[in-house]
Amino acid sequence: MHIVRGSTARHHTHTAMEAPLGARLTLALSIFAFLSLLTTAFSQQIQILNAERRVDLTSHIVRVFLTLKVENTGTAPATEILLAFPPTQVDHLAVVKAQAATGKRKKQTYVPLDVKPTELPDAPNGTKYFIISLLSPLNSGETATLEVLYILTHSLEPFPAEISQSEPQLVYYHDSAIILSPYHIKQQTTFIKTPTAKVESFTRVEPTNRVSTELKYGPYEDRPPYSFSPIIVHFENNNPFAVVEEIVREVEISHWGNLQITEHYKLVHTGARHKGVFSRVDYQSRPSFSGVSSFKHLLARLPPRVHSVYYRDEIGNISSSHLRTDNRKSELEIEPRYPLFGGWKATFVIGYGLPLQDFLFESSDGKRYLNFSFGCPLAETSVDKLTIKVVLPEGSKDPSAVVPFSVEQRLETKYSYLDVVGRTVLVLEKKNLVPEHNSPFQVYYTFNQIFMLAEPLMLVSAFFFFFVACVAYLHIDLSIRK
Amino acid sequence: MADPENAKEATTLRYAFGNVLSFFILLLIGVLAFWIRLFSVIKYESVIHEFDPYFNYRVTQFLTKNGIYDFWNWFDDRTWYPLGRVIGGTVYPGLTLTAGTIWWILNSLNIPLSVETVCVFTAPIFSAFASWATYLLTKEVKGAGAGLTAAALLAMVPSYISRSVAGSYDNEAVAIFALIFTFYLYIKTLNTGSLFYATLNALAYFYMVCSWGGYTFIINLIPMHVLLCIVTGRYSSRLYIAYAPLVVLGTLLAALVPVVGFNAVMTSEHFASFLVFIIIHVVAFVYYIKGILSPKMFKVAVTLVVSVGLVVCCAVMAILIALVASSPTKGWSGRSLSLLDPTYASKYIPIIASVSEHQPPTWPSYFMDINVLAFLVPAGIIACFLPLSDASSFVVLYIVTSVYFSGVMVRLMLVLAPAACVMSGIALSESFSVFTRSIKFQLHGLSGSSQVDSGDASSSTVVAQNDAGKAEKTEDTAKERPSKKSKKKEKGIVDKPSLKAKIERRLLVLPFEASIFAILLLVLLGAFYVVHCVWAAAEAYSAPSIVLTSYSHDGGLHVFDDFREAYAWLSHNTEVDDKVASWWDYGYQTTAMANRTVIVDNNTWNNTHIATVGTAMSSPEKAAWEIFNSLDVKYVLVVFGGLVGYPSDDINKFLWMVRIGGGVFPHIKEPDYLRDGQYRIDSQATPTMLNCLMYKLSYYRFVETDGRGFDRVRQTEIGKKNFKLTHFEEVFTTHHWMVRIYKLKPPRNRIRGKTKKPRSQKTSSTTRTKRSAATKRNPWH
């Protein structure tokens, strides 16, 4: 039941320190309550018996686990459940996953459910919806338990926005104490987990209490649809706010047995901006006080059997990296050239080769397919924009991609070593990614083995003609006079 | 030679085999020249080295991105702020155009190499070309054997390796090839008298002019040789063909290069060639007249012409001298003047003297850079006099002049190296042929010396071919012009007259044991040379100087990558238009790697501008801030080696900043920075030194690292330990403190009236007077 989030709420964040929170909250609440009376038409047949929400704020990626126990109170069977998000959250929403718990308590299994964004005509104040399709229709009077995970990026706002080297990093988290839902919720609780016990302030919506790193809102009883109660948590978070602004991954398939991956990164620290002096002597001698929110290590998880790894930027190799390999995974620990403080940027390239047989397979219909992992291999970073370019061998036809989530696709042509017609490049683009997107995707294509010989034959014939020309030159007398 | 048919077939086969063998040897020499320069890539990485190559790399990037026309018109506003620099008109474009063309060809063949890769490998590729050119040159002088030896020596001569390792993307890398190739074409024209080669020679000279300022060496050496030939009575029409087209075409072509332009006819460096051009015409005319007049008439003509000519000459000379004398430097550029007078630069131009490669070399550096060649050169000179031909007199002249020039400036060791290689190649090849001939003669002497002739054939061809040039020419009028293949037959004919020489030489054989021993010694010498060259390539000359490495106690490799750390930081975390001030050494790197505007850079064309930065560095903080602020500088970058012991840091270069600054702004006085003539930064240092900006920026908070501030380069504790900066703030210091970047604090909004507090009365008044003095002398006010 969120209303004027677009104007009021944002305004609210700016005035939070000056105006008393309570007065504004009551005002907002009354507006929400008023509006909720207007828009309750379609959702009356389902109500939520119990909702439990756990918000994990330990890193800069916000993960929210929502457990809903829904009941069909209407007469017709229900096949879909709606999730509502305020529009500001939707922009930062990277993943929404849902699964249904089936079976009894002991041998409970989870079945993933289909989640799709949807539009409703009478959505109040720009509320956005996701629709969960149930496996089997929920008959009248039945209950079901749903587990929902959604992940938000760029949702922690540093305050103060600029800090010096010796200060810790404090951030705001905005949310609602009451779960925004188109349904009536009988009972709900929200737990917010902060990385440390250092919480500067938080909005109280009674009953509220805090035990070390956990804030508990609720339980709240019998809240009407679209109830909303804005809260702000101001806490210390010194985890690296490593955000990849843009990553371009180029996967080049060579049927001679190699898969070459080149990844171009644009990295930025999105935490509180560093201001003033950077003192190396403080940074080196007092690491626990100085630059606590900065980071200098990053971990990239690469596939096993990786070889020829390099890590460089536009001005040369970056020597500070370590590669650990075993037969299940490879870990590449990289250090940017300099420690990254808030607002500092770095660009670099990681490249590596992989054995082709681990990733390229032949499907039953004679097509080949590449099975590779989507997403960014850096641990615990969010990605604003990811582009994967799958460079197929020269002469490949009919490329098609199978990706578990929606992406933008297009085709390009690339000319590489001695290409004549060019290689087909399948470009996949997606915005706002989190590590949860690192799931495999497939690219299918057809390829005739004979094309592999094209380039060696070209070289052979070039040399052949060169030698023929040499022989001819030596045997022809070009002098005019004898 | 009983059966002439059989013998002819055998020699043809020998030639064919010899040619194939030489071809493969040359190929291997090229491969060797290329591979020996890859130590830097293998030990470090494929990266551009040092300072100047970064500028060339940046220009090449611009060229490949924007095309040739934008390149000619490029006004670079990233450097020499606020003056800027016209790149197209002030750069020798040969290297960049070469690399740009290679890149363009590769990319149009769909071989997507990056510009950087092409730039890194340009130098090794051209080293291979240079060794092939050396083969051609030496072959023209003393035959194929000497050619191959000289090529092999040049492929790995340390002096050349030092300038052409992979990544050393500098003008010299292609210029040495152009130099040798121009010389080869000159000698070739001299030997054949062919206009075709003369034209090629002018083109090669054009390429040399495009590539390097050292082209003036060619345009002075060749006239000198021509003059030498005329004086020693060796004038011939071949000499005329070799020289006259080169001067005319070469000067016209050289004037096409924007950086040379009218200098090709206006500066003294080129006057020698014009003078010799006139002389050769006079001589040619005299020879012509001599040919058509009777001896008596000729004498009359000579007296007439000499008397008239003397008057005209005197008049012309007087005008010329007046013209030259009216220019302040007598028409010579500073660098060339310091060539003629080695003490010139250190006396008058500190900026030239401050560059380490402009210093005169030391004796060890000769041994380091040309090694055993230094001992072989005299032998080569002797071999060149047996017999002296036009070609061999040229290489003798070449080595003599280049030895002189290398003694003036360590950089010109590079010009000496090819000459030394040619000479040593001749020496080695000649001595090998003497010793092997002796051995063969002794062996055959035991078994009856009937078949010596065939064994001798190979060594005699060396001489024969040399004579061939002359023989060909004399026969040219009678015979048809020989085609490529008939030339070989001709050599067979020339063999006959040399039979006489052969018999003479048989008397010069050495004892068998001595020959064997001498050959062993020569092989040992060669082996020593190879070992030294490989060591030099691997250890001494492969470091890229922007990355430093050291081995820790447990054998681990520790990398000091501070320069790139700082440049990467600048490029990602400052505004695009921010100006960075540093000493000029780091200008090229800052523009290329950090892409930020610099005040001065390694193209030291404006002494005043450099002096301004030097003055700022040697001024106290407040005055320095004002100078920098007037130049819109936002960041100041200093290189500091005191923490890790990196000796070529700014504190060690500081006296040059004082000298150069003081040369233009007299209030900076060198003695103020010296205590009893000694340069020191410890507690004995002068207050001016301890208060200057360079000292403060280098040692700011340095004492907090170890508690006492021990400088590992100067091996002493610093003089002033705890101080604060008032007008600068530290914004970045690299991991090993090698680069420290400071930001100018913004000026205060209002100046408070009560700045003078009673207790700091004295200091503030002194700074005030200094400041007013500085502002007056600051050219930017």
Per-residue pLDDT reduced to its tens digit, B765-778: 333 334 444 444 44
pLDDT at B463: 42
β-strand pairing of B710-711 with A184-193: unpaired
Stretch among A329-343, B216-230, B344-358 having the lowest mean pLDDT: B344-358
Question: How long is chain B?
Answer: 781
The answer to whether residue A347 neighbours chain B at the CB level (below 8 Å) is: yes
Residue B336: the pLDDT is 63
Chain A positions touching B568 (Cβ under 8 A) are 313, 315, 337-338, 346
**Which among B564, B731, B737 has CB closest to A315?**
B564
Within 10 A of A124 (CB to CB), how many other CB atoms are there? Answer: 19
Q: Which residue in chain B is spatially nearest to A335 when comparing CA positions?
A: B565
CA distances (Å), A347 to each of A279, A387, A435, B293, B305, in order?
Answer: 23, 16, 20, 82, 77
pLDDT class of B486 with cuts at 50, 70, 90: very low
Q: How far is CA B259 from the centre of its chain?
A: 17
| pLDDT for B558 | 84
- What's the rounded mean pLDDT across residues B69-97? 89
Query: Minimal Cα–Cα distance from A238 to chain B, Å?
Result: 21
B576 to chain A, any CB pair closer than 8 A? The answer is no
Nearest Cβ partner for A315 among B593, B701, B705 = B593
Q: Is B480's pLDDT higher than 50?
A: no
CA angle A5, A7, A11 (to 5 degrees): 100
3-state secondary structure B710-748: EECCCCEECCCCCCCCCCEEEEEECCCCCEEEEEECCCC
Q: Does A345 touch chain B (CB under 8 A)?
A: yes
pLDDT at residue number B243: 92
Residue A394: what pLDDT?
87
pLDDT of residue B183: 94
Spatial separation of the C-alpha atoms in residues A294 and A194, rounded to whole Å: 19
**pLDDT tens by residue, B662-696:** 888 888 888 888 888 888 888 888 888 888 899 98
* Residue B30 reports pLDDT greater than 90: yes
Model pLDDT, residue A294: 85
Q: How far apart (Å, rounded) are the C-alpha atoms in residues B727 and B625? A: 7
Q: In chain B, whose CA is at the least distance from the CA of A344? A: B573
Out of A277, A281, A337, name the one closest to residue B568 (CB): A337
Per cent of chain B over pLDDT 90 is 33
Element (H, E) at A174: strand A170-176
Q: Answer whether residue B451 shows pLDDT above 50.
A: no
Which pLDDT score, from 0 to 100, does residue B508 have? Answer: 67
* Burial B642-651, CB ≥16 within 10 A → b, else e: bbbebeebbb
Strands (E) in B340-468, as ranges, are none
Buried b / exposed e over B256-276, threshold 16 CB at 10 Å, is ebeebeeebeebbbbbbbeeb
* Angstroms from A419 CA to nearest CA on chain B: 6
* Touching B: A residues 228-267, CB under 8 Å: none
**For residues B287-296, average pLDDT:** 83
CA distance linking residue B646 with residue B641, whole number of Å: 4
Which of B38, B115, B568 has the alpha carbon at shortest distance from A315? Answer: B568
Instruction: Output the pLDDT for position B752.
Output: 59
CB-count exposure of residue B69 (10 Å: 0-12, 13-18, 19+): exposed
Yes or no: say if B620 and B691 are a contact pair by the CB < 8 Å rule.
yes
**CB-count burial class (<10 Å; 0-12, 13-18, 19+) for B24:** exposed
Judge whether B584 and B689 are in contact, CB under 8 Å: no
B705 with A281: Cβ contact below 8 A: yes
Q: What is the pLDDT of residue B306?
A: 82
- The mean of the pLDDT values for chain B is 82
Distance CA A352, CA A325 (A): 13
Strand partners, A368: A362, A445
Spatial separation of the C-alpha atoms in residues B397 and A210, rounded to whole Å: 93
**Strand-strand pairing, A382-391 and A242-254:** parallel
Kindly state whether B701 is in contact with chain A, defined as any CB-CB distance less than 8 angstroms.
yes
Q: Extract the runs of DSSP E, i.e. beta strands, from A6-108.
A: 46-56, 62-72, 78-85, 93-102
Residue/partner pairs of B487-496 with CB below 8 Å, 24 or more apart = B488/B12, B488/B15, B491/B461, B491/B464, B491/B465, B492/B8, B492/B11, B494/B464, B494/B467, B494/B468, B495/B457, B495/B460, B495/B461, B495/B464
Give B113 to chain A, closest Cα distance, Å.
9
Pairwise CB contact (< 8 Å): B731 & A277 = yes
Decide if A285 touches B, using CB distance below 8 A.
yes
Measured CA to CA, the distance from residue B404 to residue B415 in angstroms comes to 11
A-chain residue closest to B548, CA distance = A319
The answer to whether A310 faces chain B, any CB pair under 8 Å, is: no
Percent of chain B at pLDDT > 70 equals 84
Task: Find out whether the peptide bond into A456 is cis, omega within 30 degrees of 0.
Answer: no
Phi, psi dihedrals of residue B383, rounded to the nearest 5°:
-60, -30
- Nearest Cα neighbor of B184 from B421, B395, B342 is B395
Cα separation of the two ends of chain B: 91
Cα dist from B314 to B285, B318, B320, B322, whole Å: 20, 6, 10, 12
C-alpha distances in angstroms, B366 versus B33, B155, B238, B361, B401?
Answer: 21, 18, 36, 7, 16
Among partner residues A280, A337, A418, which is closest to B564 by beta-carbon distance? A337
Q: What is the mean pLDDT of residues B608-624?
A: 90
* Residue pairs between chains A and B whose CB atoms are closer than 8 Å: 85
Which two three-digit tokens encode residue A463? 């040399």
What pLDDT digit, counting tens, does each position of B142-161 carry?
Answer: 889 999 999 999 999 999 99
A18 and B CB contact within 8 Å: no
- 3-state percent helix, strand, coil for chain A, nearest multiple of 5: 15, 50, 35
Tell me the shortest Cα–Cα distance from A277 to chain B, in angstroms. Answer: 5
Contact with chain A for residue B109, Cβ under 8 A: yes
The pLDDT confidence band at residue B341, using thresholds 50, 70 and 90, is low
Which of B569, B574, B728 should one mutate to test binding to chain A, selecting the residue with the greatest count of A CBs within 10 A? B569
Q: What count of residues does chain A have?
A: 482
Q: Is the pLDDT of residue B482 over 70?
A: no
Q: Which helix (H) or strand (E) holds B624?
A: helix B621-630
In terms of Cβ atoms closer than 10 Å to its own Cβ (0-12, 13-18, 19+), residue B295 is exposed
User: If you search the block for the tokens 């291997």, which residue do you land on?
Assistant: B28
CB-based contact, A418 to chain B, within 8 Å = yes
Considering only CB atoms, A313 lies closest to which of B568, B729, B735, namely B568
| pLDDT (average), residues B313-329 | 79
The Cβ of residue B182 has, within 10 Å, a number of other Cβ atoms equal to 29
Cα torsion A390, A396, A397, A398: sign:
negative
Write the pLDDT tens digit of every residue in B516-544. Answer: 999 999 999 999 999 999 999 988 888 88
Q: What is the DSSP letter of A256?
A: T
End-to-end CA distance of chain A: 103
Secondary structure class of A51 (helix, strand, coil): strand
Residue A416 at interface with chain B, using a CB cutoff of 8 Å: yes
pLDDT less than 50: residues of chain A? 1-25, 27, 29-41, 43
CB of B355 closer than 8 Å to CB of B334: no
* pLDDT > 90? residue B286: no
Give the chain A residue nearest B57 (alpha carbons). A315
Which of the residues A245, A296, A311, A315 would you substitute to probe the B interface, choosing the one with the greatest number of B C-beta atoms within 10 Å? Answer: A315
Report the residue of chain A nearest B736, measured CA to CA: A280
Enter the tokens of residue B8: 């002819």
Q: Taking CB atoms and an 8 Å limit, are B732 and A338 in contact across chains?
A: yes
**Spatial distance between the Cα atoms of B214 and A317, rounded to a whole number of angstroms:** 34
**Distance, CA of A61 to CA of A379 (rounded, Å):** 12
Take residue B430 and report the two structure tokens written for it: 């000649």
Please indicate if any CB of chain A lies within 8 Å of the CB of B724: no
Question: pLDDT band at residue B503, thresholds of 50, 70 and 90?
Answer: low
- CB A27, CB A12: distance < 8 Å: no
At B217, is the secondary structure helix, strand, or coil? helix
* Calpha distance A367→B195 (Å, rounded): 65
Asked if residue B108 lies in contact with residue B116, where contact means CB atoms within 8 angstroms, the answer is no
User: What's the token pair of residue B214?
Assistant: 């050292």
Which of A278, A345, A419 has the CB atom closest to B731's CB atom? A278
Write out the two tokens for A245.
């602004």
Q: Say if the Cβ atoms of B564 and A316 lie within 8 Å.
A: yes
Query: Max Cα separation, chain B?
Result: 115
Segment B272-301 shows an average pLDDT of 86
Q: In this structure, what DSSP letter does residue B511 have? A: P
**Two tokens, residue B83:** 């003056």
Helix, strand or coil for residue A346? strand
Helix ranges restricted to H, A182-236? none
At residue B555, the 3 state secondary structure works out as: coil
Measured CA to CA, the distance from residue B264 to residue B253 in angstroms comes to: 9
- CB of B559 less than 8 A from some CB of A: yes
* Contact list, B45 vs chain A (CB under 8 Å): 316-317
Task: Give tens-digit pLDDT for B417-432.
Answer: 999 999 999 999 999 9
Would you state the pLDDT for residue A363? Answer: 87
Name the CA radius of gyration of chain B, rounded: 31
Return d(Cα B167, Cα B123) in angstroms, integer. 7
Question: What's chain A's Rg over C-alpha atoms?
Answer: 28
pLDDT digits (tens, 9 = 90+) for B452-474: 444 444 444 444 444 444 444 44
Residue B199 predicted with pLDDT over 90:
yes
The nearest alpha carbon in chain B to A268 belongs to: B572
